[in-house]
Structures are given as C-alpha cells and as structure tokens.
Amino acid sequence: MKDVTVVLGAGGIGLAIARRISSGRHVLLADHRQEAADAAAKLLELAGFETTAMRADVSDRSTIQAVIRKAQERGAIKALVQAAGVSPSQAPIEAILKVDLYGTAMLLEEFGKVMAQGGSGVVISSQSGYRMPALTAAQDALLATAPAEDLLALDFVRNVTSTLHAYQMSKRCNSLRVRGEAIHWAKRGARINAISPGIIVTPLAHDELHGERADFYQAMLKKMPAGRAGTPDEIAALAALIMGPEGSFITGSDFLIDGGATANFYYGPDAGHS
Ligand SMILES: NC(=O)c1ccc[n+]([C@@H]2O[C@H](COP(=O)([O-])OP(=O)(O)OC[C@H]3O[C@@H](n4cnc5c(N)ncnc54)[C@H](O)[C@@H]3O)[C@@H](O)[C@H]2O)c1
C-alpha cells in the first residue's frame, strides 16, 4: 500500500499537478473520457509513477464513491486534485452547472469524509469567478455552505443567463466552497484550497481561444500584464506549495494566478472589457 493522489480530470492542469506532487505515491487518474485517463496514466508510468486509470463523471455521486473505494484499495488518500471541468464554449448551461458547480461541491463532501490525516486537496477554480456581477453576502454564504444537493435549485443559480454566466457562477462557487469545506476537512486533519487560474495553455483554453468568444479571450491575452498565457507547470508549482508542508497553515483559501488579467479587467485602460 502507498499513499495515493486522486486526480479528477486528467487534462493539462490535472496531469501537471499530479506529476509535481506525487513522487513515491500511487496516482489514481479519473476522467469521463477513459482515453484521457489512460493517456495521462501512460505518461506518468513512463516517468516512474504507479498509476490507476478509470472512467468517472464528476457529476455523479455514486461514481465518485467508486473512485474513492478504488483509491482506498491502493492506500490512504493523501491528495485530491479536482481538475475536471468544462468551459463556456464546450457545453450548455445545464452541463456546466452540473459538472463545474454541483460536481465539485459534491465530491468535496465525499472526499472530506475519507481524506488521510495530513492530507490536502486543491480545486481548480478560475479567474472567471472574479468577474461576475457581485452577489449578496447571503448568496455567497449559500454557495459556500449549502448542501451540494441543494445548489442547483437556488434561484440565482437557476437564473444564469448564458454559458459564460454559468461558468462564472460555478467558479465563484468553487472558490467559496473551499471555505465551507475547510471546516469539515479540518476534523480529519486535512486541508482544502482552490486555485483560480487565468488563461493556461491546455485543450480547454484552446477551445476558448478559438471558440465563439475567441475575440474576447484573444483580447484578454493581448492585454495581460504578464504579456503571455500561463502554463500548467506554473499552476502545478503553486499547487505544490499550497499542498505540501510549507502550506500547512493554508486552508479554505483561493489563489488567483492569472498574469494580472483580473487587475487589468478592473483597473486597466479599458476596465470591464477584457
Ligand atoms: N486552461 C485554462 O485556461 C483554465 C483557466 C481557468 C480555469 N481552468 C479550469 O481548470 C480545470 C482543468 O482544465 P484544463 O485547462 O486542464 O483542461 P483540459 O481540457 O486539459 O482538462 C479537463 C479534463 O476534465 C475532463 N472532464 C470534463 N468533464 C468531466 C466530467 N464530467 N467528469 C470527469 N472529467 C471530466 C476532460 O475530459 C478533460 O480531460 C477546469 O475546471 C477549468 O475550468 C482552466
């Protein structure tokens, strides 16, 4: 038996974090596309990791429970990486809310019951959550703490108007949810945080940069104070800090890492546009 890292979403960011934090551990990779899980597992095997690949939909509670059982057969769950998600150009409103908002909240409930002492988790949220119109304090509190099964019935969640709004709402929920969950995870001596990336070069970002909102994303990229897009490895470096021993005082927090895009959105020359 080895300590286990569980990765949901075996894409660009999930794989980079898994590789960075999992030396000496078993890595379980779950993705709703079996071929994505298999491909990531193969890469990690060739880099010296022990792996398990499985198909799993993060919006299905019984599937998440099956992922947990499989992980526990391998060893104690020391790390959770929630990097499964769909973007505004990839799916309709209902699917975005079900996967990104409900799925993330539900799996944090489930993993919060089983994390090993000293374990830690990270949710990949997004800068998008920082751009949506302000919610009330009461709405924020519901996103942080309402039972996962109740989230999709909240009126302000049901009233989202576009796939972009659904994504922003979901990511706002992800970033707040770790505050609510940090209280529960602490009972097991475990920590949970979120990372909110800007444009990071992965297949998902490719779909945004070339999809129906291409102009908006290309403009954001051009005006980014950092002058370039980020890489999955830069997200992994931050995750390693937060999840490792030097991050042991960090829980219930969200970290924006976006090359200055949010700063530009609020305070740049044409604030509010990109
Ligand atoms: N790349 C960016 O610019 C960027 C920016 C901000 C936030 N994010 C977030 O980072 C996370 C990871 O995205 P990425 O950039 O690595 O993209 P990616 O496309 O490389 O990986 C996403 C993975 O999630 C999987 N997935 C989708 N729906 C799923 C489901 N229901 N169940 C299980 N797996 C599912 C996909 O098959 C894919 O392998 C996402 O939540 C995304 O919203 C990405």
Active-site option among 78, 102, 171, 217: 171
* Residue 82 Cβ < 6 Å to ligand 1: no
Atom of ligand 1 nearest to the CA of 58: 32
Of 21, 47, 191, the closest CA to residue 119 belongs to 191
What pLDDT sits at residue 211?
86
Please tell me the distance between residue 199's alpha carbon and the centre of ligand 1 in angstroms.
12
pLDDT values of the chain reduced to their tens digit, one per residue, 274 residues: 899 999 999 999 999 999 999 999 999 999 999 999 999 999 999 999 999 999 999 999 999 999 999 999 999 999 999 999 999 989 999 999 999 999 999 999 999 999 999 999 999 999 999 998 889 999 999 999 999 999 999 999 999 999 999 999 999 999 999 999 999 999 999 999 999 999 999 888 888 888 888 888 898 889 999 999 999 999 999 999 999 999 999 999 999 999 999 999 999 988 876 6
What pLDDT sits at residue 274?
66
Residue whose CA is at the smallest distance from ligand 1 atom 19: 204
Contact 158, 142 (CB under 8 A): no
* Residue 143 Cβ < 6 Å to ligand 1: no
Atom of ligand 1 nearest to the CA of 84: 24
Per-residue b/e over 171-191, b at no fewer than 16 CB within 10 Å? Answer: bbbbbbbbbbbbebbeebebb
What pLDDT sits at residue 231?
97
pTM value? 0.97
Q: Can 167 be counted among the known catalytic residues? A: yes
Of 195, 200, 148, 158, the closest CA to residue 175 belongs to 195
* Residue 230 Cβ < 6 Å to ligand 1: no
Active-site option among 98, 167, 222, 266: 167
- Radius of gyration of the chain from its Cα atoms, rounded to whole angstroms: 17
Instruction: Write the DSSP string, 236-273.
Output: HHHHHHHHSGGGTT--S-EEEESTTHHHHHHHSTTTT-
Q: Can 267 be counted among the known catalytic residues? A: no
Q: What domains appear along the chain, each with residue ranges and CATH number?
A: 4-198+251-257 (3.40.50.720)
195 exposed, middle or buried (CB, 10 Å; 0-12, 13-18, 19+)? buried
Atom of ligand 1 nearest to the CA of 99: 31
What pLDDT sits at residue 119?
98
What pLDDT sits at residue 273?
67
What are the tokens at 247? 């991050």
Of 257, 222, 216, the closest CA to residue 240 belongs to 257
* Residue 200 Cβ < 6 Å to ligand 1: yes
What pLDDT sits at residue 29?
98
Q: Label residue 250 left, alpha or beta by phi (over 0 means left) and psi (-120 to 50 means alpha).
A: beta
